[in-house]
């Protein structure tokens, strides 16, 4: 990926094409062009074709792209996954399911099995294994400081059935006891809160750069603009202040586990 990125940058400069021009032609953001040239993101096919046409690369960029090992993550998730694995701090707000970093294997498998259109069983197992690999972040040394706010409805939806959800709640209770993890529940009885616009993840990198990641159907947005990131950090701070405290959340989980059949 780094080799391709350097070739792309070289051809672009040789042709006198700016990053902005390439971004417009390919239909991608300027941040995506920068990420590809720096080797942090797989080059989307549309970007490769646009670069070929604009830069007159004579098929060399297209050929180089064929030799890049495909990532185990979707293109729209790959760059974030790299930041997540190396982060020093991570904040998560989730309103539909238990966040992937905190899912048990059985729960994750049930999530993928309910995707539409239906996934091939081998693809379900592959995606489940990849999700489990990401959880190494929870036990990494040095640890990343992680705060999570999950909607109460997501903790009550028995994805995979009662047995799977029982195991998920037990695991959440275990993870919430890790010293570098703060888990909070957003109660359904709260009429409004600052997270109504949807889920988000806030990442702080080792070089103290702050980014915000959010997903939509089959795509994602990775924000790096300081003003936008600041706005989202203020929003996340409000979400945390409106949720139950970590201590209260842990007590609720303990009660829920005790009440399991």
Domains of the chain (ranges; CATH) run 2-66 (1.10.260.40), 75-258 (3.30.870)
Instruction: Note the pTM of the prediction, 2 decimals.
Output: 0.76
Ranking 28-42, 144-158, 181-195, 197-211 by mean pLDDT, the lowest is: 28-42
Q: What is the pLDDT of residue 70?
A: 63
Q: State the pLDDT confidence band at 69, using cuts at 50, 70 and 90.
A: low
Ranking 36-45, 78-87, 181-190 by mean pLDDT, the lowest is: 36-45
Query: Residue 141: pLDDT above 80?
Result: yes
Query: Residue 148: pLDDT above 90?
Result: yes
Q: State the pLDDT confidence band at 245, using cuts at 50, 70 and 90.
A: very high
**Pairing status of strand 145-151 against strand 219-223:** unpaired
Q: What is the pLDDT of residue 260?
A: 75
List own/partner pairs for 3-7 with CB under 8 A and 24 or more apart. Answer: 3/39, 3/64, 4/36, 4/39, 4/43, 4/61, 4/64, 4/65, 4/68, 5/36, 5/37, 5/38, 5/39, 5/43, 6/37, 6/39, 7/60, 7/61, 7/64
Averaged pLDDT score across all residues of the chain: 92
């Amino acid at each position: 990926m780094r080799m391709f990125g350097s070739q792309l940058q070289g051809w672009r400069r040789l042709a006198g094409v700016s990053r902005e021009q390439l971004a417009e032609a390919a239909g991608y953001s300027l941040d995506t062009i920068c990420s590809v040239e720096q080797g942090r993101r797989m080059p989307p096919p549309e970007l490769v074709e646009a670069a070929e046409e604009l830069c007159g690369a004579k098929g060399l960029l297209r050929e180089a792209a064929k030799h890049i090992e495909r990532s185990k993550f979707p293109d729209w998730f790959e760059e974030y996954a790299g930041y997540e694995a190396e982060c020093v701090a991570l904040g998560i707000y989730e309103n539909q399911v238990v966040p992937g970093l905190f899912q048990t294997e059985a729960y994750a498998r049930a999530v993928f099995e309910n995707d539409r259109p239906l996934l091939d069983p081998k693809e379900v197992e592959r995606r489940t294994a990849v999700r489990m690999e990401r959880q190494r972040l929870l036990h990494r040394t040095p640890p990343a400081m992680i705060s999570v706010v999950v909607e109460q409805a997501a903790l009550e939806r028995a994805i995979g059935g009662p047995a799977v959800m029982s195991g998920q709640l037990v695991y959440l209770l275990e993870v919430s006891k890790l010293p570098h993890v703060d888990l909070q529940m957003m109660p359904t009885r709260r009429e409004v809160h600052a997270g109504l616009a949807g889920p988000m993840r806030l990442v702080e990198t080792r070089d103290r750069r702050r980014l915000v990641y959010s997903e939509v159907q089959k795509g994602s947005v990775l924000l790096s603009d300081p003003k936008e990131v600041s706005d989202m950090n203020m929003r996340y701070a409000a979400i945390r202040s409106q949720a139950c405290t970590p201590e209260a959340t842990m007590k609720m989980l303990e009660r829920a586990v005790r009440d399991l059949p």
